[in-house]
Structure 1
Amino acid sequence: MAYAERASLARKPFPWRRHTLALLLFGAAVVLWFSPSLYNPIARAPAPAQASPPTSLAALAPNSWSARLQTVEPPGTAHVQILRDGRVIDDFRVRRAGQLVYDDYLLWPATTYRYEVRAVDSAGQSVRDESVELTTPPQLGSFPRLYGESSFWNRPIDADAAVDPNSAAMVSRALARYAAGSSLATTDDWGRPIAYASSVSMPYSVGCTKYDCMSSVVFRIPRYAQPNSGSDHHLAAYNSKTDAWSSGGRYVTASNGWGAMCTSPYRCNGAVAAGFAAFGGVVRPEEIAQGHIDHALFVTDPYTRKGYAACPATHTDGISNDSAAIPEGARIQLDPAFNVNAQPWPRWEKIIAHALQTYGGYVGDTGGTLGFVGEARLDRGYDAWSLAGIPPVPALASLPWSQFRVLQLVRC
Structure 2
Amino acid sequence: MRRPARAARWTASGAAVLAIALAAPGSAAAARADAVNPAPDNGFSATGVWNTPLPANVPLAPNSQAIVANLMQDKQTGGGLWGINTDTYSAPVYSVGPDTPTQQWTYSDCQNLPQLAPVIADSLSAVPTPPGMLVSQGTDESVAIYQPSTDTYWDFWRAQQDASGHWSACWGGKIEHYSANPGIFDNPLGASASGLPLGAYLIRADELRRGHIDHAINFETVRTQANCFSWPATRDDGNTPGPDIACEGQRFRLDPTFNVNTLIDPAARTIARAMQQYGLVLTDKAGALVTQAEDPRPLEPANGGVDPYNKLFDPTGTGIIPESLTHYLVLLGVPLSRLQALPLNYGEPGR
Q: Check if 1:183 corresponds to 2:83.
A: yes
Q: Which residue of 2 aligns with 1:385?
A: 309
Q: Per the alignment, do residues 346 and 277 of structure 1 end up closer, same or farther by CA in structure 2, a change over 3 Å counting?
A: same
**Counterparts of 1:183 and 1:299 in 2: how far apart (Å)?**
10
Q: Check if 1:219 corresponds to 2:127.
A: yes
Q: Which residue of 2 aligns with 1:397?
A: 332
**Counterparts of 2:73 and 2:332 in 1: how far apart (Å)?**
10
Alignment of 1:12-411 (within 5 A): 141-146=37-42, 147-175=44-72, 177-178=74-75, 180-186=80-86, 188-208=87-107, 209=109, 211-213=116-118, 215-216=121-122, 217-248=125-156, 249-253=171-175, 254-255=178-179, 256-259=181-184, 262=186, 267-341=187-261, 343-381=262-300, 382=305, 383-390=307-314, 392=324, 393-394=326-327, 395=329, 396-410=331-345
Cα deviation for residue 387 of structure 1 reads: 4.4
Letter in 2 for 1:173: N
Question: What are the ranges of 5 or more consecutive residues in structure 1 without an aligned counterpart?
Answer: 5-138
Q: Per the alignment, do residues 259 and 218 of structure 1 end up closer, same or farther by CA in structure 2, a change over 3 Å counting?
A: farther
Cα RMSD for the two superposed structures: 2.4
Q: Per the alignment, do residues 293 and 257 of structure 1 end up closer, same or farther by CA in structure 2, a change over 3 Å counting?
A: same
- 4+ long deviations beyond 4 Å: 389-392
Q: Per the alignment, do residues 175 and 270 of structure 1 end up closer, same or farther by CA in structure 2, a change over 3 Å counting?
A: farther
Q: Per the alignment, do residues 141 and 403 of structure 1 end up closer, same or farther by CA in structure 2, a change over 3 Å counting?
A: closer
Letter in 2 for 1:357: Q
Q: Per the alignment, do residues 345 and 177 of structure 1 end up closer, same or farther by CA in structure 2, a change over 3 Å counting?
A: farther
Q: Per the alignment, do residues 389 and 319 of structure 1 end up closer, same or farther by CA in structure 2, a change over 3 Å counting?
A: closer
Equivalent pair of 1:2/1:365 in contact (CA under 8 Å) = no
Q: Which range moves more in the overlay, 156-165 or 378-387?
A: 378-387
Local SS of the residue matching 2:66? helix
The structure with more strand, counted as a fraction of residues? 1
Question: What are the ranges of 5 or more consecutive residues in structure 2 without an aligned counterpart?
Answer: 5-34, 157-170, 315-322
**Counterparts of 1:297 and 1:205 in 2: how far apart (Å)?**
31
Letter in 2 for 1:165: P
TM (norm. structure 1) is: 0.61
Q: Per the alignment, do residues 195 and 177 of structure 1 end up closer, same or farther by CA in structure 2, a change over 3 Å counting?
A: closer
Cα deviation for residue 140 of structure 1 reads: 9.8
Cα deviation for residue 145 of structure 1 reads: 1.5
Letter in 2 for 1:174: L
Q: Give the aligned length.
A: 271
**Counterparts of 2:72 and 2:250 in 1: how far apart (Å)?**
12
Cα deviation for residue 191 of structure 1 reads: 2.8
The structure with more helix, counted as a fraction of residues? 2
